[in-house]
């Protein structure tokens, strides 16, 4: 069962990566076309949601970021919980290598970013932007060039990316929570407790879980805490066990039901509203600004050095084993793909800088897109070369 869930996840994420790339490309093209005003007008358009005492007005971009992306983090949270209890993260021997690699893959990119931004004119608050890995894009790239590579590499990349997501959620919680409305936070925690009790009710209608999730999200939005945490916290209350022997587990049911919508609708929509930036009037100063260089090189150089360096050190010290059947060059290729930060990096970058700071937001997008693109192309080239060598050796 655990292996089937993991394989289904890999297939969905790989296919989603193609659509994500198309959505991002469409956003950049529209932002630099005669219809650019319509594109920017759409993402800035104000929408009001009012239900009883709940009355919030935000732009389309903010509703996608604060609303729909909470569902994405709900699915991510369930994936993390499942992997910890039943999957790859439940085995300490298998867990060591991807977790240590994930730590290295967060620490080194942060250091690269800060190296460009600690001086005069820098923006050190953006350092978490370069620490993320985009599961969908990375797995899609691996699926294209690595069909005959050892399956252990895919599991390694998936586990590393999940551990990376967990680290990203922790950074969001610590760094991007300002003033807190304690009354709203109390409401969120109370509803979270109610959702936990639902897990003890074997025949609780799934609709009740949905209602609790919406309430937790609404209270969290009002509290001032980032709604991504609402998604992850709610996920931790969903029971793994099935209601009756032989049935699908409750957590698996929700993962299976929501994953397609997240992969093929929510993430592409976020990429479409978040990736677009105008090249009009863009100067070399912005292209080579500390923020753009810090994010771009943090993803492209920092990620490969951090992931591969930490993995090689762990293997050399016999703290972990190299993925079964994988060569060093293939492990390096996967480390390169970890520099594809796209979705999570755009999300964190949007939090790190004020929406009013258009220049910084543009520089973040430039850095994320260039760094992710370089990581994708070079990573695919390395893995493609390795697969060609394997074919020659076998043929």
Domain holding 387: CATH number? Answer: 1.20.1530.10
Q: Looking at the domain assignment, is residue 337 inside a domain?
A: yes
pLDDT of residue 6: 47
Taking the C-alpha atoms of residue 296 and residue 109, their distance in angstroms, rounded to an integer, is 9
Q: Looking at the domain assignment, is residue 49 inside a domain?
A: yes
**What is each CA distance from 279 to 144, 343, 359, 364, in whole angstroms?**
30, 20, 12, 14
Q: Looking at the domain assignment, is residue 295 inside a domain?
A: yes
Q: Looking at the domain assignment, is residue 69 inside a domain?
A: yes
Point out the residues of the chain with pLDDT beneath 50.
1-7, 9-10
What would the two tokens of residue 130 be?
């370069």
Domain count within the chain = 1
Segment 185-223, tens digit of pLDDT: 899 999 999 999 988 887 888 899 999 999 999 999 898
Q: Looking at the domain assignment, is residue 382 inside a domain?
A: yes
Q: Which of 351-354's residues contact partners 24+ apart within 8 Å by CB, and which partners?
A: 351/172, 351/175, 351/176, 351/226, 352/125, 352/126, 352/128, 352/129, 352/175, 352/176, 353/123, 353/125, 353/126
pLDDT of residue 5: 47
pLDDT of residue 395: 57
Q: Which domain holds residue 333?
A: 2-177+226-394
pLDDT of residue 225: 82
Instruction: Using alpha carbons, select from 48, 157, 45 the residue that is nearest to residue 105.
Output: 157
**What is each CA distance from 185 to 167, 234, 351, 362, in whole angstroms?**
22, 14, 20, 33
pTM of the model: 0.77
Q: Where are the alpha helices (DSSP H) in the chain?
A: 2-31, 36-44, 60-63, 69-85, 92-117, 135-145, 151-175, 182-198, 206-223, 227-235, 250-261, 267-275, 284-287, 290-297, 303-316, 328-337, 342-352, 358-394
Q: Looking at the domain assignment, is residue 201 inside a domain?
A: no
Where does residue 41 rank: exposed (0-12), middle (13-18), buried (19+ CB within 10 A)? exposed
Provide the pairing of β-strand 54-59 with 46-51. Answer: antiparallel
Q: Which residues does 140 contact at the CB level (< 8 Å), separation at least 6?
A: 13, 14, 15, 16, 17, 18, 20, 21
pLDDT of residue 201: 84
Taking the C-alpha atoms of residue 225 and residue 174, their distance in angstroms, rounded to an integer, is 10
Q: Kind and range of the H or E element at 59?
A: strand 54-59
**What is each CA distance from 250 to 13, 204, 245, in whole angstroms?**
21, 10, 12
Taking the C-alpha atoms of residue 147 and residue 172, their distance in angstroms, rounded to an integer, is 35
Q: Looking at the domain assignment, is residue 101 inside a domain?
A: yes
pLDDT of residue 50: 87
**What is each CA distance from 219 to 56, 180, 236, 320, in whole angstroms?**
12, 11, 17, 43
Phi/psi at 56 (5° precision): -130, 140
Segment 213-264, tens digit of pLDDT: 999 999 998 988 878 888 889 999 999 888 777 777 788 888 888 888 888 8
Q: Looking at the domain assignment, is residue 286 inside a domain?
A: yes
């Amino acid at each position: 069962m655990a292996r089937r869930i993991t394989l289904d996840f890999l297939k969905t994420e790989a296919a989603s990566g193609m659509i994500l790339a198309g959505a991002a490309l469409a956003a950049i093209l529209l932002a630099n076309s005669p219809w650019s005003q319509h594109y920017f007008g759409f993402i800035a358009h104000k929408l009001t949601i009012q239900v009883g005492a709940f009355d919030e007005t935000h732009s389309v971009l903010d509703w996608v970021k604060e609303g729909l992306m909470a569902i994405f983090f709900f699915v991510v949270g369930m994936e993390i919980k499942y992997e910890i209890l039943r999957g790859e993260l439940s085995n300490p021997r298998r867990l060591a290598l991807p977790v240590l690699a994930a730590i290295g893959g967060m620490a080194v990119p942060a250091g690269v970013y800060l190296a460009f931004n600690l001086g005069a004119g820098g923006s050190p608050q953006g350092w978490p932007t370069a620490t993320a890995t985009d599961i969908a894009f990375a797995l899609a790239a691996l699926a294209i060039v690595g069909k005959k590579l050892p399956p252990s590499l895919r599991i390694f990349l998936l586990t590393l990316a999940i551990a990376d997501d967990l680290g990203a959620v922790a950074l969001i919680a610590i760094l991007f929570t300002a003033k807190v409305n304690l009354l709203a936070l109390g409401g969120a925690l109370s509803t979270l407790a109610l959702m936990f009790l639902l897990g003890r009710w074997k025949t609780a209608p799934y609709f009740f879980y949905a209602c609790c999730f919406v309430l937790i999200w609404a209270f969290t939005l009002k509290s001032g805490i980032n709604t991504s945490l609402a998604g992850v916290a709610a996920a931790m209350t969903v029971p793994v066990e099935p209601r009756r022997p032989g049935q699908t587990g409750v957590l698996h049911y929700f993962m299976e039901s929501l994953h397609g919508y997240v992969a093929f609708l929510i993430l592409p929509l976020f990429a479409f509203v978040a990736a677009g930036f105008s090249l009009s009037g863009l100067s070399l100063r912005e292209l080579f600004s500390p923020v753009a260089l810090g994010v771009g090189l943090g993803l492209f150089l920092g990620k490969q050095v951090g992931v591969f360096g930490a993995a090689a050190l762990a293997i050399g010290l016999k703290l972990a084993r190299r993925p079964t059947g994988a060569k060093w060059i293939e492990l390096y290729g996967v480390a390169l793909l970890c520099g594809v930060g796209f979705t999570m990096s755009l999300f964190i970058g949007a939090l790190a800088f004020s929406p009013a700071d258009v220049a910084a937001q543009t520089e973040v997008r430039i850095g994320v897109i260039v760094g992710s693109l370089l990581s994708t192309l070079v990573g695919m080239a390395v893995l493609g070369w390795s697969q060609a060598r394997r074919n020659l050796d076998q043929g």
